[in-house]
Chain A
Amino acid sequence: MQEIKREVLVNKASELLKNGTVDRVFGWKKGEFDYDITPALFTTAEDIENEFVWGDFCGANFSKYLIKETGKSENKVLVFLKPCDTYSFNQLLTEHRFDREKVYAVGVPCNGMLDTGKIKSSAEGISKVTDNGDKVVIETLFDGEITLDRNELLPDRCLNCKSKKHVAYDELLGEDGAVLDSNRFDEVEKLEKMTPDERFAFWQNELSRCIRCNACRDVCPACTCEKCVFDNPNSGVENKAATNEFEEKMFHIIRAFHVAGRCTDCGECSRVCPQHIPLHLLNRKFIKDIDSFYGEYQAGAEVGSRAPIVNYTTEDIEPGDAVRRNENA
């Protein structure tokens, strides 16, 4: 259950619309099912009153939408930011991707968002999902009610939440939290401890399921290129049709490399992957390596920070030693 009530968000949005601070509001809207919430843009207090949703499935990070939306009008747009979203927000500001002046950011606390995939795999014919604190009640069409521990239904990104602190906002609803000591690198370490053969088998199994739908890229707040290299015929790497081509094979490595030092570890890539590939484990590997090779760095923690991949010291670790270090880890 989210600690802050829907009414608080709705009232805030309506207030800001009415007093002219903003003329558009990013929020969440009901989809076909309870767990199927979609991002939406509201322009009237009435629509917000009727359709605005706030709950356990409002995981979508709006930061990326600001790039296009702020370019459309001179007026401000309201965006609700969960703590993890604020890091993406800052990272995009660092990269000058939108005009801060055209956004009114309201920080909202977050207790973790439920994992749609886990919900769906826990029951058939789900008709309603209610969250009453520690437990989640799933009503089904055929099997009656199922009650599960809320923690069991959290995605990895929320189980290992890195921060409850908002690093950017104009206004905060509720209490601000703190940066947390998470265990987010545990999974990465587990993989590092495997033999290369085991690692290869793991990744082959995961990545072979990829259907190249681009959902990870499209949702990623770091993947905001005007034109992605994989969409650009002039880049020499774009190739949609042939299955045995470069893009097909190397997409995830290149994508992870392109967001290295910029990825805030928001976990959206894994959330939206229809094939449930744990893509965040690629990004986290880079984050973990950056932290251990060059000192801790959290993308988006501060606007204007210089990512370690575009920086150096004269005493940096040699690539050969970096790889050997994995071996001894």
Chain B
Amino acid sequence: MQRIGVFVCHCGTNIAGTVDVKAVAEALKTEPGVVFSTDYQYMCSQAGQDIIKKAIAEYNLTGIVVCSCSPRMHEATFRKTAAAAGLNPYMVEIANIREQCSWVHKEVPIGTEKAIILAKAAVAKVNLNAPLTPGESPVTKRALVIGGGIAGIQTALDIADAGFPVDIVETKPTIGGKMAQLDKTFPTLDCAACILTPKMVDVAQNDKIRVFSYSEVTEVGGFVGNFEVTIKRRARYVKEDICTGCGLCTEKCPQKKVPNEFNLGMDNRSAIYIPFAQAVPKVATIDPNHCMKLKTGKCGVCSKVCTAGAIDYEAKDEFVKEKYGAIVVATGFNPISMEKFDEFAYSQSKDVITSLELERLMNAAGPTGGTLLRPSDHEHPHTIVFVQCVGSRCEACAEKGKEYCSKICCMYTAKHAMLIRDKYPDTEVYVFYIDVRTPGKNFDEFYRRAVEEYGVHYIKGMVGKVSPEGNKLKVQGSDLIYGRQLHIDADLVVLAAAIEPDKSARPLATMLTASMDTNDFFTEAHPKLRPVESPTAGVFLSGTCQGPKDIPETVSQAGAAASKVIGLLCKDKLTGNPCVAHSDEMMCNGCSTCEKVCPYGAISYVDKEFRMPDRTTKVRRVAVVNEAVCQGCGACTVACMSGAMDLKGFMNKQIMAEVDAICK
């Protein structure tokens, strides 16, 4: 039997004004387990807390009930008070007789009656409380960043800067991501490579950062502070530590007809290649799908020309296992496929391109050396039509597009239009848009400059059809403001394709037990207050894997994710919330139902040997809760039919006792 003390707070007149506090204290004296009951003006004051401490010592209390304001206000205070007096802090319960009683009821008899009932419910609960101790787990002081675009790069640099080792896993042969493919950036028009490549070099030179390029995460185990990750390092057939990146092999390689993914297939590369000049790591990679030596055994030119001896045709995929304290997801985005958008003739004409393709066509390191030429005949285009929201905000065409706004297209199109008008003033530029969305510092000014200073024709309306005719593209669109149909003979049509999360994100989310929305963007732990954390403890989000973002937003989120990681890695030990689920293995059926509703992947199953009453042993599958991962929501407790799964601090019995006390 517990020895319970009840402490009724007046809160000045806040409570005492509508609740007869002395009557409450008196009424509680006869409740089962209560050995002491008193009232005081301000229980949360030093003097009030001393009363509690003294009573704990004097009456040898095993549990206390404080009838006061909301537990959201002072539960932590009174738990500390109890702990200071040597009582387990989880033996404290609060009866909320202020916010949920004295403040909402006007008549003293009514308020008093309700306060007594609330106090009795709290006493009934404390009678069943058990001391709880938060679990502790160590923290591996190393972070993993999945994705080596600007988001991953910034996160890794910030974490490394705080002194923690970081590994970046990137599926491509080089880090850099989408930003490396961009020409200029809005709204400042500085060149993307000029601001990105120094950061890439910083990554390469930072001794705290390891880059696993051409690699992917294949397995994730463990939990916050203690993840165990398997990384597959795909065979690149070139020894990374020996290759000097001289590029001789790429020049001599006889297979030069491989579509160059860095330029989105608009030119070719060799079978052994370095994606671009500033690649990090700057080492060659052999594309096994096109290398003659790997496919047929005949060739071996690269091996002959490599003076460093870096070529290794026998290389195999390698698996690296590493422990991490925190994981940052920075898997980024891709433009959606344009193949389903027949109306824009993307598949029919080379001169219908996506905005990302335009970036490459305008880039000095691109397929045309920075001169804007039509892909079909390498002529200067004189009339260019931009189509906005291709696949974005596309409610009616959910099977080919996305319902959301891709956020970055309005701004990059203004940038493209402005750059083209600046460099080729003889070119007419039309932009068909639904809305122009320019929230952001200096964004609207930027867009207005495109219209006002550069004379870009913005047309509110959608393009209905693009039909290639001869060397022209007949563009038919509606102008909603003037209520007319427009027919434009364009030389080049640029589609602002919607962006979607990278395809690698979904399987990764499953491995991480991190949740995703229906669009495969990662869900944040709280949309406003915890935007860079995933609901899974220790997993953080950086960049567009969480939602469409431009570069400044991505970089700020990357920094925020890094600071969360640093905050975690600074700790030597993690202290958990002791109010977590617990499965009684004697009652557990091992049915896996609880696992299905756990949002954190905190439940796993083990085969355990049980001694039966007849001295035989029996192996049964039972659930085990990882207390470091469980957040204590209790979803599993209701999914569990047998009642084996219960929640500490909010046990079935405790809640039932509260119900009984209230309904008595």
Contacts and interface: CB of A to CB of B under 8 A. Distances in A.
B596 A236 contact: no
Given A226-B587, A227-B586, A237 B656 contact: yes
16 contacts: A95-B592, A96-B621, A97-B590, A225-B589, A225-B641, A225-B642, A226-B587, A227-B586, A227-B644, A232-B587, A234-B653, A236-B653, A236-B657, A258-B641, A310-B596, A310-B639
Contacts, number: 58
B593 A95 contact: yes
Interface in B586-617: 586-593, 596-597, 605
A226 B642 contact: yes
A226 B589 CA distance: 6
Contacts of A228: 642
A71 interface: yes
Kindly name the residue among B597, B605, B641 whose own CB sees the greatest number of chain A CB atoms within 10 A. Answer: B641
Contacts of B259: none
Contacts of B587: 225-227, 232
B664 interface: no
Interface string A278-307: 000000000000000000000000000011
A227 B592 contact: no
Contacts of A236: 652-653, 656-657
Contacts of A227: 586-587, 642, 644
Interface in B601-653: 605, 618, 620-621, 639, 641-644, 652-653
A10 to B, nearest CB: 32
A306 B590 contact: no
Interface of B: 518, 586-593, 596-597, 605, 618, 620-621, 639, 641-644, 652-653, 656-657
Interface string A312-324: 0010000000000
Given A71-B618, A232-B643, A236-B656, A310 B593 contact: yes
A306 B594 CA distance: 12
Given A96-B591, A234-B653, A226 B596 contact: no
B636 to A, nearest CB: 10
Chain A interface helix/strand/loop/mixed: loop
Contacts of A225: 587, 589, 641-642
A94 B605 CA distance: 14
Interface string A216-248: 000000001111110010111100000000000
A97 B605 CA distance: 13
A306 B596 contact: yes
Nearest to B610: A226
Contacts of B620: 226
Contacts of A96: 590-592, 605, 621
A226 B586 contact: yes
Given A226-B586, A226-B588, 6 more contacts: A95-B593, A97-B591, A224-B589, A227-B587, A232-B642, A235-B653
A235 B652 contact: yes
A246 B54 CA distance: 41
Contacts of B644: 226-227
Kindly name the residue among B588, B592, B642 whose own CB sees the greatest number of chain A CB atoms within 10 A. Answer: B642
A311 interface: yes
A234 B588 CA distance: 14
Contacts of A310: 593, 596-597, 639
A226 B586 CA distance: 8
A88 to B, nearest CB: 14
Interface in A80-108: 94-97
B658 to A, nearest CB: 11
Contacts of B652: 235-236
A294 B413 CA distance: 43
A229 B591 contact: no
A293 B89 CA distance: 44
B593 to A, nearest CB: 6
Contacts of A94: 592
Interface residues of A, number: 24
Contacts of A224: 589
Nearest to B594: A310
B662 to A, nearest CB: 15
Contact of B591 (A95, A235, A311): A95
Nearest to A222: B641
A229 B653 contact: no
B589 A95 contact: yes
B22 to A, nearest CB: 33
B73 to A, nearest CB: 30
Interface in A118-175: none
Contacts of A307: 593
Contacts of B586: 226-227
A234 B652 CA distance: 9
A232 B590 CA distance: 18
Nearest to A232: B643
Nearest to A235: B643
Contacts of A97: 589-591
Nearest to B660: A236
Contacts of B653: 234-236
Contacts of B618: 71
Contacts of B597: 310
B525 to A, nearest CB: 17
A234 B656 CA distance: 11
Nearest to B612: A71
Nearest to B584: A234
Contacts of B642: 225-229, 232
A229 B605 CA distance: 21
A224 B620 CA distance: 14
A70 to B, nearest CB: 11
Contacts of A311: 596
A232 B653 CA distance: 12
B518 to A, nearest CB: 7
A175 B642 CA distance: 39
A95 B620 CA distance: 12
Interface string A248-276: 00000000001100000000000000000
Contacts of B518: 314
**A-B CB proximity, top 8 nearest:** A95-B591, A225-B642, A310-B596, A236-B656, A258-B641, A236-B653, A229-B643, A227-B587
B248 to A, nearest CB: 54
A247 to B, nearest CB: 13
A306 B593 CA distance: 9
Contacts of B588: 226
A316 to B, nearest CB: 13
Nearest to A91: B591
A245 to B, nearest CB: 12
A232 B592 CA distance: 21
Contacts of A259: 641
A313 to B, nearest CB: 9
Nearest to B653: A236
Contacts of B591: 95-97
Contacts of A234: 653
Contacts of B621: 96
A277 B343 CA distance: 63
